[in-house]
Amino acid sequence: MTTQEVASRYIELEKQGNWNQIQEELYSENIVSIEPEHAAAMGMPTITKGIEAIKAKGKAFNEGIAEMHGGYCTEPIVGGSFFSVAMGMDCTMKDGHRMNMEEIAVFEVKDGKIVTEQFFF
């Protein structure tokens, strides 16, 4: 798939809330996920390598959510082998803290798979 095709499929699955299928279908086995340095204060690793580790990171984050109030993801902007989206979520964590997060996500595509994801928030 081209970068545009991967980006379009990502948005299609995201609108369905199908994060597992995004990972299964679009992510490389050796994907690298990069979070900003201040994410460490939230208990998140700043660099995660490999699809299984990324799935575990997502599962741990989701297990901390008590209630989702809403979320969004914009249409992708594609440039070369990269695409980016703005995304956000409004949720209450299990510790009672309500979090409204907005971020930019940048994805790199090689050989039809997402090989890096980087988040800015």
Distances (CA, A) of 70 to 33, 39, 55, 73: 24, 21, 22, 11
48 pLDDT above the threshold of 90: yes
Q: Where are the domains of the chain?
A: 3-120
41 pLDDT above the threshold of 90: no
Instruction: Write the pLDDT tens digit of every residue in 5-32.
Output: 999 999 999 999 899 999 999 999 999 9
Confidence at 94, pLDDT banded by 50, 70, 90: very high
42 pLDDT above the threshold of 90: no
At residue 112, the 3 state secondary structure works out as coil
Fold category of 3-120 in CATH: Nuclear Transport Factor 2; Chain: A, (3.10.450)
The pLDDT assigned to 43 comes to 80
pTM: 0.92
67 pLDDT above the threshold of 90: yes
By the 8 A CB rule, do 9 and 88 touch?
no
**How many other C-beta atoms can be found within 10 angstroms of the C-beta atom of residue 109?**
24
Instruction: Write the pLDDT tens digit of every residue in 102-118.
Output: 999 999 999 999 999 99
The pLDDT assigned to 98 comes to 97
